[in-house]
Chain A
Amino acid sequence: MKRRGTGVGCMFYGVGNTGLPNPAAAFVQVLPDTSVHVTVGAADIGQGSSTMAASVAAETLGLNYEDIHVVWADTMYAPEGGATSASRQTFITGNAVKNACQTAMGELKRTASEELNVPEEDLVFRKREIYSNKDASVRMTYPELMAAMGKKGRLAVGAGYYNPKTTYLSPVDMSGVPYELYSYATCILEVEVDTDTGEVSLLKAVSAHDVGTPIGIKLVEGQIEGGTAMGTGFVISEKIDVDPKTLAIKNPTLSKYIIETSMDVPVVYPIVVSSEGEAGPFGAKGVGEPALIPSIPATIAAINDAIGSSFTSTPIFPADIVKAWKEQQKTQG
């Protein structure tokens, strides 16, 4: 018999380390041709931290994304970036890039102020132009500004870093401020369970994520879609089989550790929720791990809803489901 069920999973997740110093840094230079070198230590493993760094630099400096060149993760040249973990790079490296750009803008502002006769605090840097927020007709282009910088022998360089505001946790009662900010998410997921074979089909997942200000919607969606595939897989097929005696992993191959294929993943409807006032660059927060977390309880709840079981742990394999269904039938008599 095929039975359908729906489950909901909610989470909040601290971005960055737990109450430990957690800094990352960036170097920036705006070159005479208005192209920009950004150097960060953050390792981009596909989540898009380099794209994020370029977006943050472009927004801060008032240039275009295409003007920014990012060198990343090369420890010969790059400053400390910390680990690509704990969903922290957008928050921490993003803020480091912003701080470095703001330092580089010191000379840019001074020069633009002299050229336009506008006080520094009234200057707006946007889309390759600099203008007065009192009178937008008082303006110059970025190439004009860089030419003026060249004439005066000034360079636009900056180094910056960011360390989130946290406190060590008390060893007595674990109180303290473990994270500077939190991401929030909810996933609603529908499954179809075959009670004869125990097979679970993942039908649909709607996954909504508060990411602060999204930096690159497509990247955020990609994180949510990929995370949902990981989270659901964690429930229905992925199990690290550890030998209790030797502690060796017994299934370190893709034929024995089963991850979802394009046929297995649910249809994911990512919803990117923006919120304001967060401590990340332009209000952005991390989405890496939050992308997968709520789909795990949602999948378990959906299976429980479908067959009246009470699973609380992962993974749930077909044999477990057939057994739970039989017990359930028995108790119902």
Chain B
Amino acid sequence: MNKITVHCTVNHKPVAVEIDPNKRLLDMLREDLNLTSVKEGCSEGECGACTVIFNGEPVTSCCVLAGQAEGADIITLEGVSVDGKPDVVQQAFMDAGAVQCGFCTPGMILTAEALLAKNPAPTEEEVKQAMSGNLCRCTGYAKIVEAVLLAAERARGGV
């Protein structure tokens, strides 16, 4: 198969990756760019573990062909921390106790980042709605929702 070259921005840096045209974005990020925070849970767009921020939207990267990322702006969990330190959402997940096994956490945090970028003051209902595409088997979501609300409050300069 002839390889194709995908040009896009990943975690604020322009990259050009040569790949098989049938490769999924998930695999390009994990295998070619070594961004292993992107998790594969279900491979069918159900669980949200593979979520990345794709042109500002949370997208399940298992359902995107890498070629579709041409020209796109992609953020993974590795691109969220600031100077190697947790950002406000990551810190809130830790403080609220929103992480158990951690497998859903990268996707949860990216979905929360995308939500808060658009809606800095979401209601609890809006948070639950936004996070409903990300499954978590461990936490029952209570502390995840709490973490997103806490992050929103802190980012707005509260607590």
Q: CB-CB < 8 A to B42: which residues of A?
A: 253-255
B157 to chain A, nearest CB (A): 25
Q: Could you count the A-B residue pairs with CB atoms below 8 Å apart for me: how many are there?
A: 76
Q: Is the CB of B46 within 8 A of A255?
A: yes
- Set of chain B residues within 8 Å of A255, measured between Cβ atoms: 42, 44, 46
- Chain B residues near A (Cβ < 8 Å): 41-42, 44, 46-47, 97, 99-102, 127-129, 131-145
Mask of A273-315 contacts with B, CB within 8 angstroms, 1/0: 0000000000000000000000000000000000000000000
| Residue A46 at the chain B interface, CB threshold 8 Å | yes
Q: Are A46 and B101 in contact (CB under 8 A)?
A: yes
CB 8 Å contact bits of A138-151 with B (1 = contact, 0 = none): 00000000000000
When chains A and B are docked, how far (Å) is the Cα of A271 from the Cα of B108? 26
Q: Do the beta carbons of B46 and A253 come within 8 Å of each other? A: yes
CB distance B47 to A254 under 8 Å?
Answer: yes
What is the chain A residue whose CB lies nearest that of B98?
A: A222
Given contacts A225-B143, A253-B42, A268-B140, A46 and B100 within 8 Å (CB-CB):
yes
Tell me if B145 and A262 are in contact (CB < 8 A): yes
Checking A45, A48, A225 against B140 with a beta-carbon cut-off of 8 angstroms, the contacting residue is: A225
A228 and B102 in contact, given A222-B97, A254-B44, A262-B128 (Cβ under 8 angstroms):
no
A48 to B100 alpha-carbon distance, docked (Å): 7
Residue in chain A with minimal CB distance to B44: A255
A265–B100 CB distance below 8 A = no
A28 on the B face (CB < 8 A): no
User: In whole angstroms, what is the CA distance A260 to B49 when docked?
Assistant: 15
Query: Closest approach, in angstroms, between the C-beta of A61 and any C-beta of chain B?
Result: 25
Q: Which residue of A lies closest to B130 (CB)?
A: A262
Residues of A within 8 A of B136 (CB): 226, 262
Q: Return B39 CB to nearest CB of chain A, in Å.
A: 13
A265 with B140: CB separation less than 8 A: yes
| Residue in B closest to A48 when the chains form the complex, CB atoms | B100
Besides the known contacts A227-B140, A263-B128, 4 further A-B residue pairs in the complex with CB atoms under 8 A apart: A228-B140, A262-B128, A262-B134, A265-B141
- In the complex where A262-B141, A265-B141 touch, is A226 in contact with B100 (Cβ < 8 A)? yes
- Whether the Cβ atoms of B143 and A263 lie closer than 8 Å is no
Assess whether A259 is interfacial by the CB under 8 Å rule.
Answer: yes
B60, chain A: closest CB distance, angstroms: 12
- Kindly state whether residue A152 has any CB partner on chain B within 8 Å: no
Q: List 26 A-B contacts (CB under 8 A).
A: A46-B99, A46-B100, A46-B101, A218-B143, A219-B97, A222-B100, A222-B140, A225-B142, A228-B140, A229-B140, A230-B140, A253-B42, A253-B44, A254-B42, A254-B46, A255-B42, A259-B135, A261-B132, A261-B135, A262-B127, A262-B128, A262-B131, A262-B136, A262-B141, A263-B129, A268-B142
Given A254-B42, A254-B46, A254-B47, are A222 and B139 neighbors across the interface (CB < 8 Å)?
A: yes
User: Which residues of A sit under 8 angstroms from B132, Cβ to Cβ?
Assistant: 261-263
Are A254 and B135 closer than 8 Å at their CB atoms? Answer: yes
Is A34's beta carbon under 8 Å from chain B?
A: no
Q: How far is the CB of B47 from chain A (nearest CB, A)?
A: 5
For A228, list chain B residues within 8 Å (CB): 140
For A46, the chain B residues whose CB sits under 8 A away are 99-102, 138
Interface presence of A47 (CB below 8 A): yes
**Which parts of A189-220 form the interface with B (CB within 8 Å)?**
218-219
Closest residue of B by beta carbon distance from A269: B142
CB closest chain-A residue, reference B128: A262
Q: Complex formed: what's the CA distance from A244 to B136 in Å?
A: 30
Bound together, the chains give a CA A46 to CA B99 distance in angstroms of: 8
CA distance A222 to B94 in the complex (A): 13
Most buried by B among A46, A224, A228, A259: A46
Rounded to whole Å, the gap between the CB of B63 and the closest CB of chain A is 12
Q: Considering the chains assembled together, what is the distance between the CA atoms of A221 and B99 in angstroms? A: 12
- Quick one: which of B44, B127, B135, B143 contacts A222, CB cutoff 8 A? B143
For the complex, give the distance between the alpha carbons of A43 and B79 in Å. 30
CA distance A137 to B130 in the complex (A): 57
Query: B100: which A residues are within 8 A, CB to CB?
Result: 46-48, 222, 226
Q: Does A225 contact B139, Cβ atoms closer than 8 Å?
A: yes
Residue among B99, B128, B129, B142 having the largest count of chain A Cβ atoms under 10 Å = B142
Min Cβ gap A105→B in Å is 31
Which 9 A-B residue pairings sit nearest by Cβ, starting from the closest?
A46-B101, A46-B100, A225-B140, A229-B140, A254-B46, A218-B97, A262-B141, A226-B140, A254-B42
Distance in Å from the Cβ of A314 to the closest Cβ of chain B? 18
